[in-house]
Amino acid sequence: MSSQKPLCMMPGPTECSDDVIQMMSTKATSHTDPHFAACFRELLKNLKIVFGTSTGQPFVITGSGTLGWDQTCANLLEQGDDVLLLSTGFFGNGFGDCMKAYGANVDKISAKIGETYDMEKVEAALKSKHYKIVAAIHVDTSSGVVVDVEALCKLIQRISPSTLVVFDSVCAAAAERLYFDRWGVDVVIAASQKALGCPPGVSIVMVSQKALETVNNRKTPIHAYYVSWKRWLPVMIAFEHKKPAYFTTPCVQTIMALNLSVRHLVELGMEEVFKRHKETGDKFVKAIRSIGLVPLAVSDNVRTGAMTAVWLPQGIALPDLLSKMLSRGITISGGLFQGHATEYFRVGHMGVSATDPSLDYVDRTIAALNDSLIEAGYNHKSRL
């Protein structure tokens, strides 16, 4: 095994730029420091650019991506509310479990592995009853499937315009297009450690004014403390005006690092960022197909550019492949999809791996994958 740190090519956490890592080493800084307040203000402003909104309210809170589920459910759901959940994998199912924990009645439409949900079934469900929320995973990291956010929003607006539209975009944010205002999204959940290009530690949720009105019109109190948007909203508004405010102590260094990584994205331009992720995903998939490997995503129309899930060739054991990749200095991941977790592996090619053309991370991963498969006994006529 290489004596150097293995290259993190799993679907999150991902590699970060050197200046972002250096920012994480900033000495102890007060959360009321004027410099931190300026960083936080810039981050909140730029997150609106990333998500394509001028009216959305960002909530940036210390925690992992899953905290966004709790934020959304604790604030928007009351006992007995009806939710339609569209699941394309492991994280869709997990989001549903979170909703049930907050008392929701969850109807679930599940897709087969590598596929997206049937829009005709979604339309029929919307016509059968009124749902307070329709929720979906923008890119489910367990399968590498991306859903059509725009088409789903249009369908909901046509049939049930009062329904709130919620997307978990933890794996999609800054890798797949999402236009919050234009498409009529109400909640987008994200996190710092994937295509946004920062180490883990920050939960990001963008919330529409419609969703905030829903919170204000609750019939029952919010049964949560840390994730209550009513407690966090004054803090976010204060920092938007570069005025420090306190509810709980934020992860100062991680927020400053996230501000820097998001600034890089905005300076590059979001359309260029999306384009580079697609090109990188296409490059990786072309390479694996050339040696006979098959993505889980059944077609390129449902395959994300952020990461790729790949079926293992017959006779290749997942632990053996992961070990051989690690010996070549590359960390990738096994599967997560229920009933298939040991049958495939996953590679992340998002963040700086996609946006910085000077980095050879994807090329190194492709080469290591080819060599690892050969060592494991894979015998395909094509070699990279």
What is the spatial distance between Cα 256 and Cα 287, in angstroms, rounded to a whole number?
36
> CA separation (Å) from 320 to 2, 290, 295, 373?
17, 22, 19, 9
Paired strand residues for 105: 82
What is the spatial distance between Cα 346 and Cα 140, in angstroms, rounded to a whole number?
12
| Angle 257-13-146 from CA coordinates, rounded to 5° | 110
Residue 188 backbone dihedrals phi, psi, to 5 degrees? -125, 130
> CA separation (Å) from 333 to 192, 307, 322, 377?
19, 11, 7, 20
Tokens at 212, concatenated: 């905030």
CA 18 to chain CA centroid, Å, is 22
Is 177 marked within a binding site?
A: no
Burial class (CB in 10 A: 0-12, 13-18, 19+), 244: middle
- 152: number of CA atoms within 13 Å, CB side? 29
Residues sharing a CB contact under 8 Å with residue 82, sequence separation 6 or more, in sequence order: 104, 105, 107, 129, 130, 131, 132
H runs (alpha helix) in the chain? 18-24, 34-51, 67-76, 90-101, 119-128, 149-159, 180-183, 209-216, 229-240, 252-268, 270-290, 318-327, 352-355, 361-375
Comparing CA positions, the residue from 158, 159, 176 lying closest to residue 167 is 176
Annotated binding-site ranges for substrate = 346
Annotated binding-site ranges = 346
